[in-house]
Structure 1
């Protein structure tokens, strides 16, 4: 038998190289699997199945109420957003007749990749229908703002498009 007579098969550099390559690939895959199951960052809300669960009827009813209100929000966006630096936002809200909407405004800063850094801030009404508030983003990356306005029993919500917050220059 050839294999029993030649015990140098396990010393072959090609075989050792292939075994080493397989070991590296398995180790990298195991590392990726560990990070995927243990890292708290995610691209979706962890309670997406149960949080704010509404039936189609509820969603259509809510959409109908928002359309019936006919409120319009205008957001004066800052030119640049820098991590850790509070930036002033100005938001004006008008009803369908063009009259200012006075009420309470909350702004939720939402970061899709790390829900633990999401936060809510209250904006002050500085004039009828005009709101101001400072928002300081703790992390660089993509963020969205979810704006909620309440006047009596009327509620209105509008979302911004995704925007980038950059790291402060050192």
Structure 2
């Protein structure tokens, strides 16, 4: 009898702010919770996490703002489903021009909004990413990289 197969997925996202310090989040049409703009890394095309973040922002938001350094590397283990590697990069402050140019990829996103980073409404972001969210905000504030292992 062989062990159950496990899978590994990898995704990348960007953390953007407006001038008031609010964070840009997006509402995927295919998931229950809001997320940062981002998505899967195309490992079959040798895509790096950084390149995936840049591509996903361009595809999902229709803009190409500069993406900065890595803020968070997370390893999320879900029993019976495998693991997910998640990389979150610093997108910085979106200019008013970039904000005005946002054009959502309607096949994946229904809306976007800016929210106070430390005062998210309960149930807005995925519960299993709360620790990752807090560590990413702290890493951004402190100018460092966070590593967050999450076991569900």
What TM-score, normalized to structure 1?
A: 0.23
Structure exhibiting the larger radius of gyration computed from Cα positions: 1
User: Does 1 or 2 have the higher relative contact order (CA < 8 Å, sep 6+)?
Assistant: 2
Higher fraction of helix: 1
